[in-house]
């Protein structure tokens, strides 16, 4: 165990939390919790989860060899030494991990915010992490660990001495979000917006709003709901909050009745200048991330900070140093022998609203001499019978952004590609793997190229291929770009929830 790390779970505490039985050495102490044997660090508690493709029990030996303090299992795996440090769960290990999460939540006095919405969840969560970290010890779940195993894992990692906690909660079916919220028990709940996503599983946006409103189930009567006043589902969400006993419903947006009201904003290629009134407090701030969608989410963040009892003005000042989130707008200058091009990585996920927002940002980035604006687009998933129509609907945002060439992959993107003007059609392929060499073969110095698609479209492969073209000096960014943007094993199998 690293002496510099804070102990998260002692063997006795973990056994008491789960009702499990200790086997082997019982004086271990864990400084972290993980379910991915490939990412085990010394001092971790490895939880052997049964996923859709793999059973974590097969990797217990590897995890212990990598330095895990112990492993949480529901039976004795074969081939382990007799003195292997184990915590044997009384039932399924996922249930035991949830028990760890419940105890971690109960022993922590942090002010907690839960974040959900059709788009903008992870960006909002990371923005809250950034601004709150300057005001107190802040914990937030990593990546998009927002589903039925990601949330209990994140709770199990919650340090007891945290001042603030930020949890992203996702779903793609009705009935999924309520149990997650009841585990997290947030004091403040943000719903970023309601848009046409996951239509494969819902009858319409009203049903999506109802499913997102399940986040209110984890709040007590003193909780605060933070809602998008400009969204068409605001009244429906507010009514749902009241049905759950909430009386404090705060809103954000350009609407004159919003508690966090946008007064003015100036959108630039790399940042935004914002003036807003946050519950009577007028603030002017610089937001380091470009795009109106980031501006609107910043309003929800400042309102949530105030709801948590934090300093909204200090949080607004912190927004000028907000770092980009991997796969959600990170930019790199890629050096070619004949010049450099700009790569905008939006490859982590996609929806119609998110596509339109990021294309608007692309339209504000000026290419270099002789360069072009290029959009590389992968299918947006889970849109049901309206999928082709929603993909075709991207033609107008592409035109408004003055995109010169579109390279696309996936069956639904074919519907869009065939509707584009001939001069705008770069190439279409069935898969991102087929498209990658075509894109790398056409890019040139001066180009600005944005890559975006749903996680299942694997457009991250194209980002990696473009980054590998860099002929400039070795750098941290270049080295990082060679690492495929892959979440943990179970996340890869199931995908993030919206």
pLDDT at position 328, please? 83
When pLDDT is averaged across residues 254-267 and rounded to a whole number, the result is: 96
- Local confidence band at 309 (pLDDT 50, 70, 90 cut-offs): very high
Residue 243 pLDDT > 60, yes or no? yes
Residue 194 pLDDT > 80, yes or no? yes
pLDDT at position 348, please? 85
When pLDDT is averaged across residues 261-286 and rounded to a whole number, the result is: 95
Residue 89: half-sphere exposure toward Cβ, Cα within 13 Å: 23
- Local confidence band at 479 (pLDDT 50, 70, 90 cut-offs): very low
Task: Give the chain's mean pLDDT.
Answer: 91
Span of 70-79, 179-188, 224-233 with lowest mean pLDDT: 70-79
pLDDT at position 469, please? 95
When pLDDT is averaged across residues 28-40 and rounded to a whole number, the result is: 95
Residue 412 pLDDT > 80, yes or no? yes
Residue 496 pLDDT > 60, yes or no? no
- Local confidence band at 9 (pLDDT 50, 70, 90 cut-offs): very high
pLDDT at position 174, please? 93
pLDDT at position 482, please? 35
Span of 432-436, 442-446, 493-497 with lowest mean pLDDT: 493-497
pLDDT at position 85, please? 97
Q: What is the pTM of this model?
A: 0.85
User: Hey, which residues does 262 pair with through a beta bridge?
Assistant: 276
Between strands 86-88 and 164-168, the pairing is: unpaired
pLDDT at position 481, please? 38
b/e sequence 277-299, b meaning 16+ C-beta within 10 Å: ebeeeebebbbbbbbebbbbbbb
- Local confidence band at 480 (pLDDT 50, 70, 90 cut-offs): very low
pLDDT at position 4, please? 61
- Local confidence band at 198 (pLDDT 50, 70, 90 cut-offs): confident
Residue 494 pLDDT > 50, yes or no? no
Q: What share of the chain has pLDDT > 70, as a percent?
A: 94
pLDDT at position 2, please? 47
User: Quick one: which of 352, 359, 412, 336 has its CA closest to 344?
Assistant: 359
**Interacting residues of 203 by C-beta distance below 8 A, sequence separation 6+:** none
CB 143 within 8 A of CB 153: no
Q: What is 153-209 written as a DSSP string?
A: HHHHT--TT-SEEEEE---SSTTSHHHHHHHH--SEEEE----S-STTS-SSHHHHH
Q: pLDDT tens across 377-399, in order? A: 999 998 888 899 999 999 999 99
When pLDDT is averaged across residues 404-409 and rounded to a whole number, the result is: 97
Compute the distance between CA of residue 489 and CA of residue 51 in angstroms, rounded to an integer: 9
- Local confidence band at 51 (pLDDT 50, 70, 90 cut-offs): confident
Residue 312 pLDDT > 70, yes or no? yes
Residue 489 pLDDT > 80, yes or no? no
Residue 138 pLDDT > 50, yes or no? yes
pLDDT at position 497, please? 59
When pLDDT is averaged across residues 82-92 and rounded to a whole number, the result is: 94
Q: What is 354-381 written as a DSSP string?
A: HHHHHHHHHHTSPP-TT--EEEEEEPPP
When pLDDT is averaged across residues 94-99 and rounded to a whole number, the result is: 96
Q: Which helix (H) or strand (E) holds 128?
A: helix 121-133
pLDDT at position 498, please? 63
When pLDDT is averaged across residues 268-293 and rounded to a whole number, the result is: 94
């Amino acid at each position: 165990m690293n002496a510099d790390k804070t102990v998260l779970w002692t063997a006795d505490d973990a056994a008491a939390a789960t009702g499990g039985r200790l086997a082997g050495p019982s004086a271990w102490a864990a400084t972290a919790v993980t379910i991915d044997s490939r990412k085990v660090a010394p001092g971790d508690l490895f939880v052997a989860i049964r996923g859709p493709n793999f059973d974590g029990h097969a990797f217990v030996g590897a995890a212990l060899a990598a330095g895990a303090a112990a492993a949480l299992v529901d039976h004795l795996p074969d081939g382990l030494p007799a003195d292997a440090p184990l915590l044997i769960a009384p039932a399924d290990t996922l249930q035991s991990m949830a028990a760890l999460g419940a105890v971690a939540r109960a022993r922590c006095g942090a002010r907690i915010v839960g974040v959900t919405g059709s788009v903008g969840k992870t960006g909002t969560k990371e923005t809250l992490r950034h601004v709150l970290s300057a005001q107190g010890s802040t914990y937030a779940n990593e990546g998009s660990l927002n589903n039925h195993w990601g949330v209990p894992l994140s709770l199990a990692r919650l340090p007891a001495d945290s001042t603030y906690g930020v949890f992203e909660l996702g779903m793609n079916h009705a009935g999924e979000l309520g149990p997650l919220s009841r585990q997290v028990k947030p004091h403040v709940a943000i719903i970023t917006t309601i848009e046409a996503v996951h239509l494969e599983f819902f009858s319409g946006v009203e049903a999506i709003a109802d499913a997102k409103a399940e986040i209110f189930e984890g709040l007590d009567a003193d909780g605060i709901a933070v809602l998008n006043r400009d969204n068409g589902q605001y009244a429906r969400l507010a009514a749902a909050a009241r049905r759950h006993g909430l009386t404090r419903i705060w809103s954000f947006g350009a609407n004159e009745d919003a508690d966090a009201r946008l007064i003015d904003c100036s959108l630039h290629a790399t940042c935004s200048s914002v003036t807003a009134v946050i519950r009577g407090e007028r603030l002017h701030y610089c937001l380091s991330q470009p795009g109106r969608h980031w501006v609107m989410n910043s309003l929800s963040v400042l309102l949530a900070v105030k709801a948590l009892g934090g300093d909204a003005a200090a949080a607004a000042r912190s927004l000028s140093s907000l770092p980009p989130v991997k796969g959600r707008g990170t930019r790199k200058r890629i050096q070619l022998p004949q010049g450099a091009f700009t790569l905008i990585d939006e490859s982590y996920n996609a929806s119609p609203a998110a596509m339109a927002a990021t294309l608007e940002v692309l339209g504000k980035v000026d290419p270099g001499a002789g360069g072009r604006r290029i959009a590389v687009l992968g299918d947006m998933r889970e849109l049901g019978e309206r999928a082709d129509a929603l993909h075709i609907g991207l033609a107008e945002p592409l035109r408004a952004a003055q995109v010169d060439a579109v390279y696309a992959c996936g069956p639904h993107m074919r519907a869009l590609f065939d509707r584009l003007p001939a001069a705008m059609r770069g190439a279409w392929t069935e898969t991102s793997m087929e498209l990658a060499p075509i894109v790398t073969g056409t890019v040139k110095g001066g180009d600005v190229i944005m890559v975006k698609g749903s996680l299942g479209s694997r457009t991250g492969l194209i980002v990696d291929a473009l980054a590998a073209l860099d002929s400039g000096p070795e750098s941290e960014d270049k080295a990082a770009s060679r690492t495929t943007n892959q979440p943990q094993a179970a996340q890869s199998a199931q995908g993030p929830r919206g």
